Structure formats: structure tokens, C-alpha cells
A and B are shown apart, each in its own frame.
Chain A
Amino acid sequence: MGDNTNLKEDEILVREGLFVFPEGKGGVTGLVGSRCKKCGDVEFPKRHLCSCCDCEEATEEILIGRRGTLHTYTIVRVGYPNYDLPYTLGLVELPEGKNLRILAQLEGCSEAEIQIGMPLDLTIGKIKMDPATGKKVIGYKYRPVKA
């Protein structure tokens, strides 16, 4: 799973194989996680073997993470070069696995509206600029669920 056919000329992926673009334009269909064939536990990014049980069979890929809830957050005001400051980082809890949380930038929400526990939707967007190529680095992000 995972391809880069939807990237524009001035974009590169943060890393291959993390998420899948949909057929057609815009959005994202999900993050590429792994599921244990024995206990069913889900992880992201995908792991070769399950962390949570004694299953020795390879995991299978599964698309996850279209919706999550905000476990905690911070607003980064001093960061590495090539990022647009300030930006908000969220630790997003995904419903597919136990204590499964991933770090992502949040977009489309003001500082005043951020709340722990708020529901979030997966999206894709610019993480930072790549200094070597001058291209936008594209990765997964989350945004508040639109009412």
C-alpha cells in the first residue's frame, strides 16, 4: 500500500508507505498500519511482528486512522528551520488499537479551540520545506471534525 501518484511537482513525501491517497483528487484514505493475525491488535507505523501477543506470523496491512481523538497537544514556538512557526503538535489516539497514539501536526484549529479529547479527522498537508530540493514535504496531519 502507499503510492505517490497524487503528489504535485513541488511536493515530496515525508516517508514512503505511511499513508494512501484515494483514487481521484484530494484527501487521504488512511494510514498504513499493521494488524496481528492472532490477537487483532493494530499498530502504526506497521511492524513486522506483533508487540502485544506471542504470534510469530507476519502482520497484515490495514488502513486506519481516518478519525482520532486528541490525547494531548503543544504549540511549538521555537523549532527547527524549514517549519512554519508556530505549529501545533497533537498526540492523536486512534480507535483501532489499545493505547495506539501517533504524533501529528494539527491544522485548521485556532489555539482557543484546541481541547484534549476533541475528535479529529485525518488529512494530508505540508509538514515543512525540504532544504535540499526546495519542495514541500507532505505528510499526514489532523484537523478538527467539521460539524
Chain B
Amino acid sequence: MRGVSIVGAGMIRFGKFPSRMIEDMGAEAVIQALRHAGMGHREIQAAFVGNVGQPPNAGQRILDQAGMSGVPVLNHENACSSSSAALRDAYVAVASGEYDRVLVVGAEQMTKKIKGLIPIEDGANLMVDMGMVMPAFFALMARRHMQEYGTTREQLAQVSVKNHRHGALNPYAQYQKEVTLSEVLNSAVIAEPITLLQCTPIGDGAAALVMTTSREARRWTSRPVKVEASVFAAGFSRKEPSVGTIEVCCRAARQTYEIAGIGPEDMDVVELHDCFTAHEILAVEDLGLAPKGEGGRMAVEGTTALGGKIPVNPSGGLLSKGHPLGATGVAQVVELVWQLRGECGKRQVAGAKVALAHNGGGIGPGLELPAMSITILSG
């Protein structure tokens, strides 16, 4: 297998753009990524595209807008991990020798159709038919975590305060405004203990990466970012000892660290799937960045804030940067590529060399995550 590197990364600012089409947003991100790489679009041999809610062939329509009609497109759907699935398959395609230069794209148009809770069709998911909503999925985990480890409502809320503080420094974030602890705690209760400001917003956006072999990478940039490992795993409901731990996250993390030969203690910066505050607390523990039960305390003590020992979600995360579903996985990696190249301005993690992206998706019958992607990058 060949080494694989990212040589260009681009995205549009996330936000509510009900009149913008996915083709338009996707093409803009693609063109930015190509310009970042200094690569012409005729060099691209294939594209791997993640999207959740569009009619078929969204990727082909995006490439058509970017002048690449006729380039092979592999569309990927894996709920909130859709574009991470695309990234993983792009990585394998380049590593295997099938392609030398590919695009990885994530794009989503949500606000044209959705306000508030994401609608899920009757009959598609038994949990949803019984009354599950996305905030409740993570509220159930939060409640169990509070029971087992003494995690508090204030610790949960602090994750939102921290990530909004980061987002206020990010010109690509949907929300660039700080929030206070009392604003978070006193916002409307959605599913106890999760309040409105602990929920990711609905939004639109697109992000793109240019991937090539590590051997070819220096032809395009003096600062390529190497993909050290990219693992995609599926949750297994019957293995969860308790829903205060996300078993598939622990399992995928172990596998990713083993492939990369890099451990959690080596991470300089992390972008993780803080769709709801509780998920960040569980994920920092289950990724091995904090001892089990200490995730809440880390948020309060500033360990996971910019300037702390292991900055988590310097982009503002899903809570503040936003979460246009199919765009999220690639947007996380875009942020990390920029971080590893020292291009993040006020939210730059000084001297970042190793980074991890964590992107979970879906709701499984035993409260497991059906899709879990972890990617380790080095700059």
C-alpha cells in the first residue's frame, strides 16, 4: 500500500442558506480545495462524495458544476459520517494504486426542508417510531454517564461554552458568538439534561479535500498532511457494557492507534463529533484522551480548550461551526489540515504536528452508533 497525503483543503462558511443548491456549495468548496493545492481540475481522476439527504448522484452534479463532468464519482451515505466514509474509501483507492489524485467532498443542503429536529421516515427505524429524537439519543447516554461518573449539568454545558468560544474565532463557523454558562443552562430543555444550546444547529455547507500519494504530494505543496490511518467501524449493540461508554469508539480508536503507531498521548489537536455536548464528554474518554469519567472535568478545567493540553474542536465543533450532515466529516479534516499547516489564525494550536478526527453517525437499536470513523493525520 502507498502512503496517502492531503495537499489541498477548502470549505464554505457553514450557515443557513435555504436558497443555495448543493451543487453550487459543493463546487465552491471543491474549487477552493484545488486552489489550496495549486492543482488544476483536469488532474483529478475520481471523486468520493458524502451526502445524506439529496436525491441520487449528488456528487456527479457537484463535479459537473466544477467543470469535471465525466470524472468517476462514488457517492457515500452513512448518516452523519457520510463524508468520512467517502474519505476512507478515497484513502484506500489512492493507497491501493487505483488512483493518484482524487477529491473527497462532503456537502449538505438542510434548511430548505428542515427546521429543528431532523425528520426520519416512519418505519425506517424502530427507535424513531417509538419516540426517539436525536437529542434524546445523547440525553440517554448523558443521564447514564451522570449516574456512573457523577458528571454534572454544568460540565455538560461547559462543552458548549468552550466550543462557542472557539467558534467565535473561526470565520467559517455558522455561529461566531460566545455563549455563557448560564445562557446554556437556561436555554430551553430539549431532552433532559440536554438544553437547546447543547444541540448542534441545522445548517448548510460543503467541504473538500485533494488527496494524492505521499510520494507525489511534494509536487503540489511543501506542507502535505499525511493520512496515518483511517478506520470505519460499526456499533454492535450487544457489546455495550453500559451506554455511558461508546464501545464502537473505544474499538475503532484502538484499531486506528495501532495502524498509525501513534497513541492518544501524542495528539496535538482533535476535531470530534460534538453533535450534543454529552457526545464530546464520552468521546474524549472513549478515544483515550481522558481517563474514563474525567471528560466533564476536562471541559471545566480547560484541558480541552485552546491553550489547554489537548485542544478539542478548535473550529467550534458541530455545536458552533455547524453540522450540515454530509459535509461534517470532511470539514473536520479540512480544519485539521489547516491546523497542521499553521493556517488557522486566532484559533491556531501552536506547533500542531499530529491530529485526530472522530465522526459518528446514526442511531442503532441498542443505543449504539451504527457508523464510527476515526482518522489520524500528521503534518
Contact = CB atoms under 8 A, between A and B. Distances in A.
Contacts of B140: 72-74, 89, 91
Interface stretch (A3-11, A21-29, A57-65, A75-83): A75-83
B1 interface: no
B136 A74 contact: yes
A118 interface: no
A100 interface: yes
A91 B117 contact: no
Interface string B166-193: 0000000000000000000000111111
Contact of A77 (B116, B189, B367): B189
Contact of A103 (B127, B141, B191, B238): B127
B190 A78 contact: yes
Contact of B130 (A75, A78, A104): A104
B238 A74 contact: no
A79 B131 contact: yes
Contacts of A139: 129-130
Contacts, number: 107
A139 B130 CA distance: 8
Contacts of A52: 238
Contacts of A127: 129-131
| Best-buried of A43, A83, A99 by chain B (most CB within 10 Å) | A99
B131 A87 contact: yes
Contact of A128 (B117, B131, B135, B136): B131
B71 interface: no
Contacts of B239: 99
Contact of B143 (A74, A79, A83): A74
Interface stretch (B79-87, B224-232, B240-248, B321-329): B240-248
Contacts of B144: 71-72, 91, 116
A96 to B, nearest CB: 12
A61 B242 CA distance: 26
B129 A77 contact: no
Contacts of A87: 131
Contact of B117 (A15, A79, A89): A79
A73 to B, nearest CB: 6
Given A89-B131, A139-B130, A116 B241 contact: no
B133 A79 contact: yes
A74 B191 contact: yes
A79 to B, nearest CB: 5
B56 interface: no
Contacts of B126: 15, 45, 103
B275 to A, nearest CB: 15
Given A99-B238, A99-B241, A116-B147, A76 B133 contact: yes
B123 interface: yes
A99 B366 contact: yes
A15 B131 contact: no
B188 A77 contact: yes
A99 B141 CA distance: 15
24 contacts: A14-B129, A15-B123, A15-B129, A52-B238, A72-B141, A72-B147, A75-B189, A76-B135, A76-B136, A77-B190, A77-B191, A78-B191, A79-B117, A89-B136, A91-B140, A91-B144, A99-B239, A99-B241, A100-B366, A101-B243, A127-B130, A128-B131, A139-B129, A139-B130
Interface of A: 14-15, 41, 43, 45, 51-52, 71-80, 83, 87, 89, 91, 97-105, 116, 127-128, 139
Interface of B: 116-117, 119, 123, 126-127, 129-133, 135-136, 139-144, 147, 188-194, 236-243, 365-367
Q: Which 7 A-B pairs have the closest CB atoms?
A: A74-B139, A72-B144, A75-B192, A78-B190, A74-B191, A72-B143, A72-B140
